[in-house]
Structure 1
C-alpha cells in the first residue's frame, strides 16, 4: 500500500484470552496444545466507516479518507492487522480508533495517516467493534471475539475487562457492534449499546448487567425485570453489523443489519426500516443526525434526510 510514513509500535499482549485459558483448563487440555493464531497481514479490509468531523474514513479493501466534498485520499493502514471496526469522537478531532482482525487496537492521532498499536492488556483475539465513550473521549471500549467488553481510560494505552459477553437465546454471544449513548436514563448518563448475532442489548456504565432496551431509566430496568416492549423492535435473530448514535442527537440511533438500515428516534425502543438493502456498516457525522452513510453489497451510499432517500457516493 502507498504511504510508508507510518509509525507503528507493535506491543500486543501475547497472553491467551481469559476465556481460552479457562476453557482449555476445564477441558483438561495443556496450554501447549492450544492452537497458535497467526498475526493478520496488514491491510484495511473492512468494511468499516466513521466520521472524523466532516471527513469520512472508510476501510474497505483499502483505507481512505474523504474531507467534506473533496475527493478520496488513500491512507496508510495499520501495519499490525486488517481493520474490522472504526470509532472517533468529536472531542478529539483527528483521533481514530481501529479494531483489528489480527487482535488489538490501533490509534491514529492525525486523521489516519500514522498509526500506533495500543493493545497492552488486551486478549489476543479479533476486535469486532470499538466505540469511544460519549462523555469521555479518552475512554475507549473494545469488543473481543470469544471474550467480552474491554475498556481503556487512557486512549488505549492500557486495558481492563469491563463486562462479560451477554447471555442471549441460551448462549453467550459475541458483540458485533458497539455505540456509547449519552442519555439521562443511564447510570451517570451513559449506556453502552451492543449488537450481537441475535439482536440488540445494552448495559449502563455501572456494568452491572446486560439488559433489553426498554423505556425508563437504568435502575428501573434493573429492578423491574420487565421484558422489552414488543412495539416495532429490531428484527429478531439478525446480526447487527454496525451501530451508531448521532452525537448531535443521542437518542437517534442507526443500525446496519442484513435486512437493511434501521433508525430509532427514542434510543432504541422503537425502530423503523430506512433501507431494505443488506447493510454492512453505517456512520453519522457529529453535527448532522440526518446525514447517514452506509456500506452495502453494492457500494457506498448516503442519505441527507435521515434515510428517506439514498444516493450512491462515488469512491475514486
Structure 2
C-alpha cells in the first residue's frame, strides 16, 4: 500500500492508497513539519523534523507519533544525550550504516548543529567540530540573518564514514571519519545548497540544487564526483528559472534528475508572487522544463518518487499532489481531497513510502 507523507505549514498529511482510493489523515497539527525520513529497512519507522516543536518518530507508518530527542525533563538538569534546539531543520537516515540494530539517524538544527543517534533516536550525540569552521562567521539565513541552519545531511555511497552537510546559507562541509573532523567548504563550491543528494548507482557523486543561481544563473546546479572535494556546475537550460529549491533523483537512473525551480526566492516562497516550474536533466543534456499540467501560482514544488514503481514521480504544491510518468510529459492530479486552506500554505517536505 502506497503512503505519501506531505508536510504543510501547520500539519503533516499522511495519505494512504487502497482499493477505494486515497485516504488522508492529519498528524502533528501545529508543529510546522519541515522534513520526513523513512527507515531504509523498516517502512513502518518514520521520522519527522519540525521547526520549533522538536523531533518526532512513528513506528506504525505515521498512524501515531512520539516526541524524541528531548534534552531534559522540567525538574531535571539538562542532559547530554538530547537535542537542545526545538528548531529541527533536517532529519535523515544512513542508507547502509547501522548502530544498535537500527540505521543511524541524523538531525540538523537552527542554529547550525549536527546530531546523530545509533539507537533509533533514544540518545543523541553532537558533532561539535563543525562549530569551529573558518567559514562560520559568514553563515546566515537571509530571512533571519542573525542565524543559520543545517539544510541537508548526506552520507556517501562510496564510503559509509563520509558525510556531507549543507548549511543554509554558507557552506557544504564534509567529514571522512563520520563526524570526528570536518573539512570546510572547498574553493568554488556552492554556498546555498537547498537539496544535497547522493545515488547508490553513482558512488562518490553529490548532486546540489542551489539558490546560488539567483545571483548568478550559471551556479544553479552543481555536482561533485569526489564527495564534495571539487565541484562543477551544469546549469544549462535553467536561465529562465535559476533559483532551485528541491530535487529528486530517479532511483533507476543516476543520470536522471528533476528539480523545482523559480525565478528567485520571492517567486518560490512568497504568496503574492508564487510561480514555480519543474525541470529535468537526463545525462549531459541541458535541463528542460516539464511543467505542463501543473497549476499556476504554485510555491516551490516538493518532489519525490514512488518507492516501488520508479516510473512515477510526484510533486507537492499548495494546489495539491500531482504525478508524472517517466515516459510522459504532462503532470496529472492525484485524486485526493484538498482543503482550501492548503492553497495558501507553503509545502515543506514530501516523501513516498509503503506499508
Contact 1:134 1:180 survives alignment (8 Å):
no
1:136 and 2:199 matched = no
Unaligned runs of 5+ in 2: 1-84, 96-102, 140-148, 262-267, 269-275
1:281 and 2:349 matched = yes
1:152 and 2:221 matched = no
Structure 1: how far apart are the matches of 2:89 and 2:319?
17
1:237 and 2:297 matched = yes
Structure 2: how far apart are the matches of 1:159 and 1:116?
14
Q: Deviations over 1:151-194 (max 9, x none)?
A: 11111111111114624xxx43300012221446xxxx621110
Structure 1: how far apart are the matches of 2:310 and 2:250?
6
Partner of residue 109, structure 2:
60
- Aligned match for 1:181, one of 235, 240, 250: 250
Structure 2: how far apart are the matches of 1:89 and 1:271?
34
Structure 1: how far apart are the matches of 2:179 and 2:237?
30
1:166 and 2:238 matched = yes
Contact 2:224 2:232 survives alignment (8 Å):
yes
Contact 2:209 2:259 survives alignment (8 Å):
no
Distance change (3 Å), C-alpha of 1:250 and 1:190: farther
Partner of residue 99, structure 1:
166
SS in 2 for 1:206: coil
Structure 2: how far apart are the matches of 1:256 and 1:85?
19
Structure 2: how far apart are the matches of 1:89 and 1:264?
29
Structure 1: how far apart are the matches of 2:332 and 2:283?
22
Structure 2: how far apart are the matches of 1:264 and 1:194?
14
TM-score normalised to the size of structure 2? 0.49
TM-score normalised to the size of structure 1? 0.55
Structure 1: how far apart are the matches of 2:105 and 2:183?
20
Aligned length: 218
Unaligned runs of 5+ in 1: 1-42, 214-227, 291-304, 306-316
Aligned-pair RMSD on alpha carbons? 3.8
Partner of residue 279, structure 2:
201
